[in-house]
Chain A
Amino acid sequence: MNSGTYDAVVIGGGMSGLTAAITLCDAGKTVAVVSKGDPVCCLSTGCIDILNSADNPLQGISALPSGHPYGFVGQDAIIEAHERFIKIGAEWKIPYIGAIHESRQIVTPLGTRKTTCLIPKTMEYAAYDESDYIHIVSFKGLKDFYPSYIITRHGNAGHSVFDAAVPSTIGIAERFEDERFRETFAEWIIKQNIPEGKIALPAVLGIRSSLSIYEELSRRTERTFFEIPTLPPSLPGIRLFNCLKKALLARGGRLYWGNEIASIEKLGASIEGVTLKNPGRVARVQGKAFILATGSFVSGGLFARMDSVHETVFDLPVSYPEKRSIWFKETFFSTGHQIEKAGVEIDSSFRPLDGPFENLFVCGSIIARSEVMKYGCGHGMAIATGYAAARSCEGFIT
C-alpha cells in the first residue's frame, strides 16, 4: 500500500481547497490535496466574483444576512485572502486587475455585461462605451461563439473570421502557444485594416502563456485586445486552476489526482486517514487534520435524493429546505432558489456544526447558505473561506 502522512489533507481540488492548501503550505505545514478530477473552476469565466450583487463588494458583504459564510471569515481576513490570491496570480503570470471594493463589468458571448470583481489582465479592456467601435474576431467553425449575439447589442461593431483549422477553444488556444501561428494571426489582423477601436475575441489566447501571448499580440499589431470568456470548457477558468495548482506544487504540496475516496479511517472523534480508489494499488493518505472542500451539487460535494440532501464524503449533517417542491422557484430567470441554501452548517472555527469529528474543517460552496448564484460570490467566497478554514486548521495542528 502506498501511503503518505501530512499535517493537513484537503479533500477537493477546486478554488477553496487549493487556496486552503496553499495557505497551509505558506504556514510551513505539509499538505496533500485529494481530488477526483478537474474542478468546476475550469468551467468558470476565470473572473473572481466577490459579491456581484453589490457595487462595492466589500461593503456589500457586511450587509449580507447573518449565517452567510463570508460572515465567519471577517473583513480583514477577506481582504488578506484576496491580496494573497492576487500575489499568487502575478507570481504565475496570470495577473488580476481590479479591487475588492469595486465591481466591474466584462462582456459575455451573448453581448450582455457580466458583473464581476477581479478579472484576468486579458479582459482588462472589456469595458467600453456605447459609442466605441468594437471589432470582433471569431474563429471558423467555433461552435460556442457567435459574434452576431454581441453585434445586435452593440450596434457599432464589426466582425471578421479567422480560420485556425481547429473548431474548439482549447484547440485554438493550443495553436496560440506556437510562435509561428501567432505571427500568422498578427499579420492577418494587420491586413484586415480594422477601424480604430478595441478588438474582442473569444478567450483562446493560449493555455499556459496567456499573458505573454496577449502582450505579444498587442505589440505586433499595435492594437488593444480583450478576451471574452466562453462557455465551458473555458480557457480563463483552466488557466486560473493551473495557476493555483502550480503554486501549490511549487510550495511542496502533494496532489492525489483522479481518485475518489474509498473509505475513511476514524479513531474516536478523529479522522485518521482516507483510502483512495486507485486502480492497481491502494493509496492511503493520513493527516492530523482534514479540510472538506468538495463544493456543492455541481462538483458533487452534496447529492440530492428525491427527498433529502446528503454530504458525500463523511455523511455530515446537511441543512436544506425540507420539501422538494420548494427547492426551485418557478422561473428559470429568478435566482435565489431555496436549494442554494443547502449545505454543511459550520461554527466560527469552520468546523461542521454537530459533526462527529474534531479535526475536520470545511470551506467553499459546500458551506450552508452560501447561495453562490444569488449573490454572485463563487470564487471570492471560495478564496475567503479557503483561507480562513486553513488558518483555523493551522491553529489546531500547532
Chain B
Amino acid sequence: MIVKDVIIIGGGSTGCGIARDLALRGVSHCLIEKNDFAAGATGACHGLLHSGGRYVVSDPAAAAECIAENRILRKIGRKCVERTDGLFIRLPGDSKKYRDAFLKSCERLGIETEVLSPTRALELVPSLNPALEEAVRVPDCSIDPFRLCMLNIVTSQARGGEILTHHEVIDIIKERGRCVGVRAREKLSSSIKEIRGKAIVNATGAWAQRIARLSGSSLPMTLSKGSLVVTNHRLSNMVINRLRPPSDGDIIVPNEAVCLAGTTSVAVDDPDNMDVTAGEVEIVAREAASMVPEFERVRLIRTYAGVRPLLHAASEDGRQISRNFQIIDHTNGLFSIIGGKLSTYRLMAEKLCDAIMKEFGLKTACATAEKPLEGQEELRGYPLSKRLESLKDIVCECELVSRSEVERVIQRINPKHIGDIQHRTRLGMGPCQGGFCTYRALGIMQETGKMPPEESMHILKEFLQRRFKGVRPALWGDQLREEQLIEYIYLGILSMESH
C-alpha cells in the first residue's frame, strides 16, 4: 500500500502541473495515469501557448489568464516553448469591426500587438495567402505538451512524488462517507495497487465524470471533439490565426519539423471512442488553405482528435462555452478540476493546490511561477539540427532518432508501450508515422530484454491499427502512396495476421 497526502488522478498537463506544484510546497503525492503522460486532450491539441488573442473578444477573462501564463511559461520553460510569435490574418471579407474590437481589447489586457502590412506579413511568412489585407502580430508560442508534462514530473519525482503511469483507477475507497484512497490496476500485469491519501484530485479531463461517479458524485459536463491534421513539413514558422471570431480550422501551429492545423468542434458522448471523419479533414484542410494555400497540396501525415471537457452548458456550440476552468470540491475529499486549456495549466494547478492547502490548513504559497522547470538542462539532442550530429545508426529516418537514443530511453524508463519511446524521442512522429521504425524499436526492445517478444507483436498490431485510424481520414496524394507501401510491407512482406 502506498500512503501519500494527495492522490492525483490524470497525467495530462493539469495533473502533472499539480504534482510539481505540490512537490514545491512539500506535500507528498502520488500521480496515477491510465496511459502515458499527455495521452488525453493534452497531447491531442495544437500545442499552442496562447497569447490570449484568440479569446480577447469573446472571453476577455480567459484572454487575461492566457497572456499572464504565456509570460510565465516563456520564462520558466525555455526548452519546451518555442517563441514563434503569431499572426492573426485578415482575409478579404473578414470584418473590420472585429479587427477594431480585437485591437482595442488587446490593448486593454496588455497583449502586445503590431499591425503589419500584407507585404511585411508575407516577408515573415512567405507561405501566407497573398490576398491577405493585414496581419496583427501577437506573442503566441508553440509548446511541446509531452515535454511539458515530463518536465513537471521531474520536479515531482525529485521530491519523492510517486508516479504510476499505465495504472487505471478502478475504485475509490470511501470510509465514513469520505474518499480515503483508490485502487489502481496496472494495465499489463493486471495487478492491483492500493493508494491511500487525505485528498484525491480528479484531473482526468474528459474522463472526469467517470472518476466522479466512482466516488458517488456527479459532474455534469459537455464533451467537444476537436480534430486536427499534421502536415509533413513546416509550412510556417509562426502561429497563424484567422482574425475573426473563433471558428473551425482557423489555427496553424508550427511544431518541430511539422505543422498542426485545426480544429473542429463536435459534441461527443464517449471520450474513448472518437473518429476523425473525412469531412472534418476536408473542413480543416480547406480552412487552413485559405490562410496558407500550400495546404491544398501538402501531405497530411496524420489526423487526430482530442476531447475538450467543458463545464456543462445547454448551448449547442462547444465554442460558446467558456474555456475557463472550474474547481469542484465534492466535500468528500475529492476535488475535480475541469475545463481550462494547456496554456493555463499552471494557473489551474496553482488554484487547485491552494484549495487543498486550505483543506489541510497549510499556508505554503505556490512557487511554480518563479522557478524554471527542472530537467531542462538535461534535454539534449532534441532539435533536429543536433540530431544531425549523430547520423550513425539512425532507426527513425524521418525524425533522425538513433539506435543509441532508443536504447537510452529503454534503459531509463523501462517502456511498456511504443508511445513511451515516441513521446520521449519523437520516433515515428514524421512522415511515415512509424511505419518503418516501430518494427525496429520493438526489435531493439526485445534485444535489450526489456520486453517479451510475444508482447511486442501484440503492441505492433495495436500500433498499426491506431496509426491506420489516424491516417485513414486524410488518404489521398502522396500520403496514399505511403500508406499502400506500409500495407504492402506489413501485410505482404511481413505477412502479419490480424490475430
- B is bound to A: yes
Name A residues whose Cβ lies closer than 8 Å to a Cβ of B: 43-45, 49, 108-110, 112-115, 141, 143-146, 148-149, 151-152, 167, 229, 231-232, 234, 296-298, 300, 303-307, 324-325, 327-328, 330-335, 339, 373, 376, 378
Query: Which among B174-182, B197-205, B311-319, B482-490 touches the partner chain?
Result: B482-490
B377 at the interface (CB under 8 A from A): no
Q: For the complex of A and B, list the 3 residue pairs with the smallest distance between their C-beta atoms, beginning with the closest.
A: A146-B443, A333-B498, A332-B468
Contacts of A339 in B (CB 8 A): 475, 480
Contacts of B442 in A (CB 8 A): 146
Contact of B475 among A45, A141, A303, A327 (CB under 8 A): A327
Bound-state Cα–Cα, A83 to B403, Å: 45
Tell whether A149 pairs with B446 under 8 Å between CB atoms, given A108-B494, A331-B465, A333-B496.
yes
Contacts of A231 in B (CB 8 A): 436, 439, 489, 493-494
Q: Are A110 and B494 in contact (CB under 8 A)?
A: yes
With most chain A CB atoms within 10 A of its CB, the pick from B393, B443, B498 is: B443
Bound-state Cα–Cα, A44 to B493, Å: 7
In the complex, what residue of chain B is closest to A107 when comparing beta carbons?
Answer: B495
B272 at the interface (CB under 8 A from A): no
Q: Are A332 and B464 in contact (CB under 8 A)?
A: yes
In the complex, what residue of chain A is closest to B493 when comparing beta carbons?
Answer: A45
B-side binding surface: helix, strand, loop or mixed? helix
In the complex, what residue of chain A is closest to B476 when comparing beta carbons?
Answer: A304
Contact of A324 among B278, B452, B461 (CB under 8 A): B278
Within the complex, the shortest CB–CB distance from A301 to chain B, in Å, comes to: 11
B447 at the interface (CB under 8 A from A): yes
Q: Are A324 and B491 in contact (CB under 8 A)?
A: no
Query: Known contacts A144-B439, A152-B457; can you find 10 more A-B pairs with CB under 8 A?
Result: A108-B495, A112-B494, A143-B440, A231-B489, A231-B493, A231-B494, A331-B468, A332-B490, A334-B498, A373-B487
Q: Are B393 and A234 in contact (CB under 8 A)?
A: no
Name B residues whose Cβ lies closer than 8 Å to a Cβ of A: 277-279, 282, 285, 393, 395, 403, 436, 439-440, 442-444, 446-447, 452-454, 456-457, 461, 464-465, 467-469, 472, 475-477, 480-481, 483-485, 487-498
In the complex, what residue of chain A is closest to B275 when comparing beta carbons?
Answer: A330
Bound-state Cα–Cα, A281 to B282, Å: 42
Bound-state Cα–Cα, A325 to B277, Å: 8
In the complex, what residue of chain A is closest to B392 when comparing beta carbons?
Answer: A167
Contact of B440 among A144, A151, A296, A304 (CB under 8 A): A144
In the complex, what residue of chain B is closest to A237 when comparing beta carbons?
Answer: B493
Tell whether A149 pairs with B440 under 8 Å between CB atoms, given A112-B494, A141-B393.
no
Contacts of A113 in B (CB 8 A): 495
Bound-state Cα–Cα, A378 to B395, Å: 29
With most chain A CB atoms within 10 A of its CB, the pick from B468, B488, B494 is: B494
Contacts of B444 in A (CB 8 A): 146
Contacts of A373 in B (CB 8 A): 484, 487-488, 491-492
Within the complex, the shortest CB–CB distance from B391 to chain A, in Å, comes to: 12
11 contacts between A and B (CB under 8 A): A141-B393, A146-B444, A232-B493, A306-B477, A324-B278, A328-B483, A331-B498, A332-B464, A332-B467, A334-B498, A373-B492
Q: Are A328 and B447 in contact (CB under 8 A)?
A: no
Contacts of A378 in B (CB 8 A): 492
In the complex, what residue of chain A is closest to B477 when comparing beta carbons?
Answer: A304
Within the complex, the shortest CB–CB distance from B231 to chain A, in Å, comes to: 15
Contact of B393 among A108, A167, A335 (CB under 8 A): A167
Within the complex, the shortest CB–CB distance from B285 to chain A, in Å, comes to: 8
Within the complex, the shortest CB–CB distance from B458 to chain A, in Å, comes to: 11
